[in-house]
Amino acid sequence: MPLILGGLAGAAAGYGAAAWLERRKPPPGKDPNIKHASLGVVRLDWHYHPLPGDVGSPDSFEYPVYYRAVPGLTFEICQSGKMSPEIQQNFKDAIEFLDKERGVSVITSDCGFFMWFQKEARLYTSKPVVMSSLALLPSLHAAIGTDGKIAIFSANSTSLGPMHDTVAKECGVDWDEACYVLVGCQDVEGFGAVASGEPLDLEKVTPGIVRKAKQVIAEHPDIHAILMECTQLPPFSDDVRAATGLPVYDAIVSADFFIRGFVDNPRFGLNDWHRPWDGQQEKYKLGDNVQDKEKLLHYKP
């Protein structure tokens, strides 16, 4: 034992404590050519005005994000869960573009109704696919158990209903069980702009979303967590967190979670093994991937 202590003391005396600790650090990264992880977002053929916090806004992310719209895949078609063969091919092309041309690490979407196509999207890539924040439900259920409830907020709870069986198959979750509470925001003042593609008025809509959350918790005091299903709800997540004290999960949290699996943790282990992100997002405008004549057929001006 004295020899061990003496050896440590000698190391500290010979090199200094800081120097000794420095020698204990893992070696630097071996391949500086590894690029930073990035997110690919499959977009609807739908022009709207995303707020920061919306998946459609690159300002929502602290890592590179690339977008690709699917010509012909309107909000209504996505909501129906049925694509024509032509749109299906366009969907495949969008997935493969993000995977092979942009080399993204994770693929998601700009609408929760893309959950209809979660299984199909996986056919076209080996990258993690999370078409909706609903994919987080199994983890939330495991963490909370059956003693607590999870509130699922959507733009319209009635429209979400037909996707029940798909979510059950993909996520192993039956939201008809007593531990889930479906909450529609269709009656929140100003939130109807989501359906029309008009800009959301943050100051106008936020109080209504917060009131809705408080009301639901008052009716179900055993709610332990909230999941925002609609990709246009994350701009309100912080307000709901602050007002309720509950954890709120959404499409941004979902994307962040999967991206974290690909990036360096600077606090321990091997560091600097991939290039840092320069903070510059690729400029994107809806319809960049189609010819002008196709835009007249597919894209809303």
Region of residue 146 (left: phi > 0; alpha: psi -120 to 50; beta: else): alpha
- The CA dihedral of 248, 255, 190, 179, to the nearest 10 degrees, is -40
Helix ranges, 146-291 (H): 157-160, 164-171, 193-196, 202-219, 237-244, 251-260
d(CA 272, CA 276): 8
Q: Which two tokens stand for residue 67?
A: 């977008």
Backbone torsions φ then ψ of 26, nearest 5 degrees: -65, 160
Ranges of beta strands (E only) in 32-158 are 39-43, 65-69, 106-109, 149-154
**Which among 61, 42, 50 is positioned nearest to 232, based on CA atoms?**
50
Clarify whether 230 is annotated catalytic.
yes
Single out the catalytic residue among 111, 171, 179, 185. 111
Half-sphere exposure of 14 (CA within 13 A, CB side): 8
- Alpha helices, H only, the chain: 2-15, 17-23, 75-80, 85-96, 118-123, 137-144, 157-160, 164-171, 193-196, 202-219, 237-244, 251-260, 292-298
Residues in the chain: 301
For residue 179, indicate whether it is catalytic.
no
The position carrying tokens 């609408």 is: 111
Question: Which residue in 78, 171, 179, 230 is the catalytic one?
Answer: 230
Q: Which of 106, 100, 101 shows the shortest CA–CA distance to 36? A: 106
Residues 6+ apart with CB under 8 A from 72: 45, 84, 86, 87, 90, 298
Catalytic residue positions? 111, 230
